[in-house]
Each structure stands twice: as structure tokens, then as C-alpha cells.
């Protein structure tokens, strides 16, 4: 389908871009659009205006003051915050041409997709578009993770209903999934190939050109919006299943009394053995996206065989970890009930302050069920968050800066700060008869850690 000739796509060099949802995904994107002044593809000068919209007033205030609690942008890029026009009012008059949505897409208590933020953000876009001078075709791009079909079957009808405009006549749309890995300083937005797609050929090319103007690694134009949506969820589903496999291998290794990581390192000497590691699978991507895939499969009459099996296995790891700990305590004659237990790391990912869906919270729940209230230290959690349903004692200072000793230390997140502790310092905070449970494989082997 080609575009209605009456309106043209916006000028790529000086278009006005509004990012909706300024979290781990939206903020780095807004910064990148703002800071790249010369098109990476053509070398032409870019004179774009960047808007940033977030319903969360506190977040907008923080960004206006030049701060970012997600720590996803470095000190140099922080200066760029001043060039972005932030706002949080849904009824604002925004004269943007391009609207990019990057709001959360979690699951509900029944593991079904919760698209409420995406729908509400689309309504905001519809209202912005409705008020705008109609000189060019407005472009809607979804970056949030969704199941295949969401952009065209959920977002487009909302936009059409509120504005009265028709897709590919008075507005166009596309989907470009985000693939960043928060806390990872190597794989950043500009260095990851960006998948793009559009509601017709011209739009797909336009959106591809838009992203290739700022992404050093380049772009990959998907065959359709649905293909791009599906690609995103299967990337994370594949990771989830691969981790489930090594988690199962870990259980078997434990039964036959060999170290799982030694086995994986040995198998990894073969060129085509994939380097997955066992562990807890938390966060809002790998532990959530497979449910988006199973949802659309079920809606089409297919119950997945292995995707949910992998999910269940990974979700059961926190309980298995505690069972292993109790077995080790018995073996070492440690009174588990009265043991002082310290958990190092609460965030779901290393060097990142994100705590959403952290499975370490499940580990704490299992300890609480056994009347244990563990101590917690996490350098990335600046203040004790109000976490409901779990009981723990929160350390505001590193245990290394205190004089207490622990019977059990569980290394649950591989923050660099923990990786850098040497054997001597670990011994300083451990009782003579102790367990050091290294869920991340980062502790010196001379300490004889219990490993997953
Ligand atoms: N964080 C990641 O590692 C990552 C990686 C790839 C893809 N994703 C996907 O990207 C999307 C965003 O994730 P995130 O981690 O950036 O989320 P986030 O929670 O860090 O940020 C989302 C922001 O959107 C705002 N918001 C919510 N509803 C809104 C609305 N209706 N209008 C305006 N703003 C609204 C929130 O206040 C928040 O600031 C999700 O679909 C996620 O699955 C995330």
C-alpha cells in the first residue's frame, strides 16, 4: 500500500520527535536522538527537536534537574538532558511529527500480557496528534515489547478511533523493538543493530532511515511489523529456554556430585556449545516475554510444549536453591534456624539498580517461610525500597565496613563490587564454620563455595 499523496512523511533532518515513557529504554533513546547532530548514514546536519513525555511527574522533575536514577546515561550524556523538552501533562500541545512509545508491558497475576500502559500511552499520542497542525503524516512507533499483532490490532484502532484518522492515509506506524541490556556498558543502544518495520513500504524505509541516522551498528528492516514484534519476543524466549536447560543440567550435576560450572566450561571448549549459565531468571524481559509468546499461541489454539516448561523450571529455581542450602547446612552442622544469613545483591541484574521481578525476592520469601529474616546488602539500592510481602534486615553500609560475621553468605547478584572482594576479606565476614553460596560463580574457589 502506498501513502495518500495529500500528506508527506516528515523531513528526516529536522523532524520533531516525542519519546513517550522515559525509563531504561526511553531515556537513552531520547538522549541519542538529541545528541547525534550529523546523520550517521548521509553525513547531513540534523536539526531535530526532541520531546520527552512521562506520566510520572517525579521522573520528569528528576530529568529536568539533570539526574537519572537508572544510571543508564553517562556523565557526558547527562548534559544532553538540557536539550530535551520534558513534560508530563497529558493535555499538552505537542507539535511533534514522530511519537515513539517505550512504556512498560508487564504481565498480570495470571501471566497474561498487561497492555494498560501501552493503551494509555497510545491514547495520549492520539490526543497529541489530534491537536497538531496537519501538515505532514504523523508517525507512531512502538518500542515496547509486545506480542505479534499488538501494534496493528491494539494501538492502531485506538489511534483511529480517537483521531478519526485512517492508517496509511492520515498517519503511519511502525515497530522497532529495543534490545538494550541495562547495566551493560558494552552493548549500548548505538552498538546494537536496531530492527525496524513500517505499516507500508515508504514508512518502513522512512523509519529505517530515521534509526540508521543515529545507530552506529546499523539497522535491520524486518519484512513486516508483525515479524519485528515476533522477533523481539522470541529472542528472549530463546534465552529463557537455554537458561532453563542449564538449570536442569545444574540439578542433575548436583545429584551426581560434580560442579555444574566446571562441566559447562569443559563442554564450552567445543566451538558450538552455547555459553549459558544456570541461575535465577528475573527482570521484566526474559522472565516476561515468553508469556507474550504463549499468549498469542494460545489465542490461536496452540498450547506450547516447551516454552512454559522452561518458564516453570526457571521460576522454581529459587526454591531449589534454598533446598540445596538447607542440605549443605545439615551437612556442615550449621543450625539453619538460628544462622545469620546475608544476601549480597537484590537487583535482578549486575551493576543495575532495577529490582522489578527480581527472583532474589523469591529467595527471601522462601527463607521467610522457614522463619529466617536475612540481612541484605546491595550497593545499587540506595535506599530501602518498600517491598511488600518480604522480611529482611537492610544494611546501608557494606558488610566489609562493619564488624559482623555471618554463618551463610549468598552471592545473588554479580555486582563488580562483590567480584572485587578477595578471599582474605570474604573470610573476615564469615564465621569459622560457614557456607558461602555463590549463585554467580564469582567467588575464589579456594573458599570452597557452594555453587549452583
Ligand atoms: N529495560 C530493559 O532491559 C528493556 C530492554 C528491551 C525492551 N524493554 C521493553 O521496553 C519497554 C519499556 O521498558 P523500560 O524498562 O524502559 O520501562 P521503565 O519502567 O523503566 O520505564 C517506563 C516509563 O514509562 C512511564 N510510563 C508508564 N505509562 C506511561 C504512559 N501511559 N504515558 C507516559 N509514560 C508512561 C513510566 O513512568 C516509566 O518512567 C517495555 O516494553 C520493556 O519490556 C525493556
**How do residues 93-130 score in pLDDT, each as one tens digit?**
999 999 999 999 999 999 999 999 999 999 999 999 99
CA 23–ligand 1 middle distance (angstroms): 5
Is 423 a member of any domain? Answer: yes
Residue 321 structural domain:
316-452
pTM of the model: 0.94
Structural domains of the chain, count: 3
Query: 257 with 131, same domain?
Result: no
Q: Which helix or strand (DSSP H or E) is residue 87 part of? A: strand 85-87
pLDDT one-digit tens code per residue, 319-378:
999 999 999 999 999 999 999 999 999 999 999 988 889 999 999 999 999 999 999 999
How far, CA to CA in Å, does 299 sit from each of 83, 118, 150, 156?
A: 44, 20, 13, 20
d(CA 208, CA 61) in angstroms, rounded, equals 32
Residue 177 and residue 247 share a domain: no
From 64, 124, 178, 189, the mutation candidate for ligand 1 (largest count of ligand atoms within 8 A of CB) is 178
Do residues 211 and 249 share a domain? Answer: no
Say what the pLDDT of residue 71 is. 87
CATH number of the domain bearing residue 263 = 1.10.1040.10
Query: What DSSP element (H or E) covers 357?
Result: none
Choice from 28, 62, 103 to test ligand 1 binding pocket (greatest atom count within 8 A of CB): 103
pLDDT tens track for 134-151: 789 999 999 999 999 999
Of 173, 176, 171, 215, the closest CA to residue 192 belongs to 215
Nearest atom (ligand 1) to Cα of 21: 24
The verdict on 349 and 308 lying in the same domain is: no
- 198 alpha carbon – ligand 1 mean position (Å): 21
Q: Where is the domain boundary, 298, 315, 332?
A: 315
Give SS3 for 247. helix
CB 79, CB 73: distance < 8 Å: no
Final residue of a domain: which of 173, 193, 222? 222
> Do residues 336 and 55 lie in contact, with contact meaning Cβ atoms separated by under 8 Å?
no
Domain assignment present for 75: yes
Of 158, 189, 222, the domain-final residue: 222
Active site amino acids? 285
Residue 186: its pLDDT value, please? Answer: 86
Say if CB 214 and CB 32 are below 8 A apart: yes
What is the 103 CA–ligand 1 centroid distance (Å)?
3
Alpha carbon of residue 272 to chain centroid: 27
Using the mean position of ligand 1's atoms as its centre, give its distance from the Cα of residue 27 in Å: 10
Do 353 and 280 share a structural domain? no
Scanning 256-383, the segments in alpha helix (DSSP H) are 260-267, 289-299, 306-315, 317-331, 360-369
From atom 27 of ligand 1, which residue's Cα is the shortest distance away? Answer: 103
Is 245 in the same domain as 216?
no
**Residue of 18, 23, 236 best suited for mutating to test ligand 1, as the one with most atoms within 8 Å of CB:** 23
What's the rounded mean pLDDT across residues 74-85? Answer: 94
Assess if residue 7 is contained within a domain.
Answer: no
CATH number of the structural domain spanning residue 389: 3.40.50.720
pLDDT digits (tens, 9 = 90+) for 306-322: 999 999 999 999 999 99
Domain co-membership, 215 together with 321:
no
Distance from the alpha carbon of residue 144 to the mean position of ligand 1, in angstroms: 7
Question: Is residue 169 domain-shared with residue 21, that is, in the same domain?
Answer: yes
What is residue 383's predicted lDDT score, i.e. its pLDDT? 63
CB 328 within 8 A of CB 450: yes
Other C-beta atoms within 10 Å of 190: how many? 14
Q: How confident is the model at residue 52 (pLDDT cuts 50, 70, 90)?
A: very high
Q: Residues lining ligand 1, judged by CB closer than 6 Å?
A: 20-26, 53-56, 59, 102-105, 117, 120-121, 124, 144-145, 178-180, 182, 284-285
Amino acid at each position: 500500500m502506498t501513502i495518500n499523496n495529500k500528506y508527506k512523511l516528515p523531513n528526516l533532518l529536522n523532524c520533531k520527535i516525542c519519546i513517550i515513557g522515559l525509563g531504561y529504554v526511553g531515556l537513552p533513546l531520547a538522549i541519542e536522538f538529541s545528541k547525534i547532530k550529523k546523520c550517521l548514514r548521509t553525513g547531513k546536519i540534523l536539526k531535530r527537536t526532541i520531546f520527552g513525555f512521562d506520566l510520572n511527574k517525579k521522573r520528569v522533575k528528576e530529568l529536568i534537574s539533570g539526574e537519572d536514577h537508572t544510571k543508564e546515561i553517562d556523565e557526558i550524556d547527562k548534559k544532553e538532558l538540557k536539550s530535551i523538552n520534558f513534560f508530563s501533562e497529558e493535555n499538552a500541545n505537542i507539535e511533534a511529527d514522530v511519537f515513539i512509545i517505550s512504556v512498560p508491558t508487564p504481565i498480570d497475576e495470571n501471566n497474561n500480557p498487561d497492555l494498560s500502559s501501552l493503551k494509555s500511552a497510545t491514547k495520549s499520542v492520539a490526543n497529541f496528534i489530534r491537536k497538531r497542525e496537519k501538515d505532514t503524516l504523523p508517525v507512531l512507533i512502538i518500542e515496547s515489547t509486545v506480542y505479534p499483532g499488538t501494534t496493528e490490532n491494539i494501538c492502531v484502532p485506538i489511534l483511529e478511533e480517537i483521531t478519526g484518522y485512517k492508517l496509511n492515509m492520515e498517519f503511519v506506524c511502525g515497530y522497532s523493538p529495543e534490545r538494550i541490556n541495562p547495566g551493560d556498558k558494552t552493548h549500548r543502544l548505538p552498538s546494537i543493530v536496531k530492527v525496524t518495520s513500517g505499516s507500508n513500504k515508504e514508512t518502513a524505509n522512512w523509519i529505517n532511515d530515521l534509526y540508521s541516522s543515529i545507530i552506529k551498528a546499523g539497522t535491520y528492516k524486518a519484512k513486516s511489523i508483525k515479524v519485528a514484534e515476533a522477533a523481539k519476543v522470541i529472542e528472549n524466549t530463546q534465552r529463557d529456554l537455554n537458561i532453563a536447560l542449564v538449570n536442569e543440567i545444574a540439578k542433575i550435576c548436583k545429584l551426581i556430585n560434580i560442579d555444574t560450572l566446571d562441566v559447562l566450561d569443559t563442554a564450552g571448549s567445543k566451538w558450538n556449545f552455547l555459553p549459558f549459565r544456570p541461575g535465577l531468571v528475573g527482570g521484566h524481559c526474559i522472565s516476561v516475554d515468553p508469556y507474550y509468546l504463549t499468549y498469542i499461541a494460545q489465542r490461536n489454539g496452540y498450547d506450547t510444549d516447551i516454552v512454559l516448561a522452561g518458564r516453570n523450571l526457571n521460576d522454581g529455581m529459587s526454591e531449589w536453591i534454598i533446598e540445596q542450602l538447607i542440605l549443605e547446612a545439615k551437612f556442615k552442622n550449621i543450625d539453619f534456624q538460628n544462622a545469620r544469613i546475608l544476601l549480597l545483591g537484590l537487583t535482578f541484574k549486575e551493576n543495575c539498580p532495577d529490582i522489578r521481578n527480581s527472583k532474589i525476592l523469591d529467595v527471601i520469601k522462601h527463607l521467610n517461610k522457614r522463619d529466617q529474616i536475612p540481612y541484605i546488602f546491595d550497593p545499587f539500592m540506595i535506599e530501602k525500597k518498600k517491598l511488600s510481602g518480604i522480611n529482611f534486615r537492610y544494611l546501608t553500609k557494606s558488610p566489609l565496613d562493619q564488624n559482623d560475621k555471618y554463618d551463610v553468605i549468598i552471592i545473588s547478584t554479580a555486582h563488580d563490587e562483590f567480584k572485587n572482594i578477595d578471599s582474605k576479606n570474604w573470610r573476615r565476614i564469615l564465621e569459622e564454620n560457614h557456607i558461602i553460596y555463590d549463585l554467580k560463580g564469582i567467588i575464589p574457589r579456594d573458599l570452597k563455595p557452594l555453587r549452583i
